[in-house]
Structure 1
Amino acid sequence: MRRKPSGQSGFTLIEIIVTIAIAAMLSVMLVQFMGTSISRSAEPILSIQEGMALQGIFENMHADYKLLLLTDNTPLDTFKARVEGGYYGVYTLNDCQYILFDETDHTEAACDTNCMLLKVTISTGKHSLTSLFAR
């Protein structure tokens, strides 16, 4: 049998400890980076779902308003009451008022009598939609 020279045998304890320490630091950095990415990966999907739910609510509003135009004597007033009452689902009502456009500077102003336009703004989460309904 041949024996190895005493100066060339394996790794020293210091080399093993340094290697383990470097591997631990790199793994901590990787876990922090991946943990943030994984935990925030659902945010875009949730945002899209909120937007699509809001769009669905507006589609229901438009369909119901078209039906009210055919069947109701005061469709805009009935529609306004339904929107304010939460008839179309779960949403936050930001604005639901009759408006009148000024012909000189093309701005909108609140209107009380004989208004032809109803401005509705609803929101869910970070999304909001606005639509005008006419008589």
Structure 2
Amino acid sequence: MAMKLDSYLQLFFLGCFYFSWFLSSPAEAAVRKYQFDIRVKNVSRLCHAKPIVTVNGRFPGPTVYAREGDRVLVDVTNYAQYNISIHWHGLKQFRNGWADGPAYITQCPIKTGHSYTYDFNVTGQRGT
């Protein structure tokens, strides 16, 4: 009986070890690449047409998915008739705050017909 109990304890501790190892092993960081084409599109609502800025033809634009440790590359091409910049709401830009915010304040705008690649790492952040 004691031998059977010892083998159960060994299996239990072995299982706990593997389970804790599984929980502690970090997920592989990935490189997430996105292409944003900025265009002005006329939208009709309640019999009135209004120009709006779209990303890839959509408003609001696409969702950017990332996990802790991921590197995010967003290539933005401006097809609108005026300069633009992107502010990443709720996403801290560690070590590259110059690429987040209003034009001429924290970054130069993306001119019409030009592109800019936002390149940042998701570090110490969680949420939506």
- Calculate the TM-score normalised by the size of structure 1: 0.34
* Structure with max Cα Rg: 1
Q: Which has the higher contact order (CA 8 A, sep 6+)?
A: 2
Structure number having the greater helix percentage: 1
